[in-house]
Amino acid sequence: MTRSELTDVSWAGFVKAEPDFADRVRRRFERYTHHVLATLRKDGSPRLTGLEADFREGELWLGMMPGSLKALDLRRDPRFSLYANPGSGTEMDGGDARVTGRAVEVRDEEETARWAAGAPEGHAPEVFHLFRVELTEVVVVFIEAPDIVFRTWKPGRPLRTIRRGNDDAPPRED
């Protein structure tokens, strides 16, 4: 898929399109502090690293230490996926949540200073990389017995729900 075929949208655009689903995804990410970020290395192979996600001012923000490999990956190729921490054990309360898109680096000093000023006390580093997320896909996977349910959203498309049972029947769409 070429860049011109992709449609990116801000977190606020996602909330406007699918408010209930966006709220579910945000709450799932806010349940834990640390999540797993997938970026692309120079050679195209995946890199998985820990990261905190920040939902503020209608945006999903990704802040990183200066010179971190994940920040350098995103500067070179902004595509990413962010997987919500599943928690301990197997309960997966709220299901799996993943957001995919492009991370756009914020280089404006006033904007980064405003973001840092809004961070919880003691959590804003003096020097950091800041990226604003543009979404291309949001997915939540959960169990609704007897099915595994896949709920997916892409900009410009309706929310899809696909159910898959643990039998040999083909997946079905709601």
CB 129 within 8 A of CB 104: no
Q: What is the pLDDT of residue 84?
A: 94
Give domain status of residue 78, yes or no: yes
Give domain status of residue 168, yes or no: no
Buried b (16+ CB within 10 A) or exposed e, 112-123: beebbeeeeeee
Give domain status of residue 94, yes or no: yes
Cα separation, 139 vs 154, in Å, equals: 9
- In DSSP terms, which residues pair with 87 in a beta bridge? none
Q: What is the pLDDT of residue 116?
A: 78
Give domain status of residue 166, yes or no: no
Q: Which residue range(s) make up the domain with 128?
A: 3-140
Q: Say how many domains are in the chain.
A: 1
What residue ranges of the chain have pLDDT lower than 70?
A: 1-7, 89-92, 120-125
Q: What is the pLDDT of residue 169?
A: 73
Give domain status of residue 121, yes or no: yes
Give domain status of residue 165, yes or no: no
**CATH code of the domain covering residue 49:** 2.30.110.10
Give domain status of residue 154, yes or no: no
CB 138 within 8 A of CB 11: no
pTM for the predicted model, two decimal places: 0.88
139: its two tokens:
């997915």
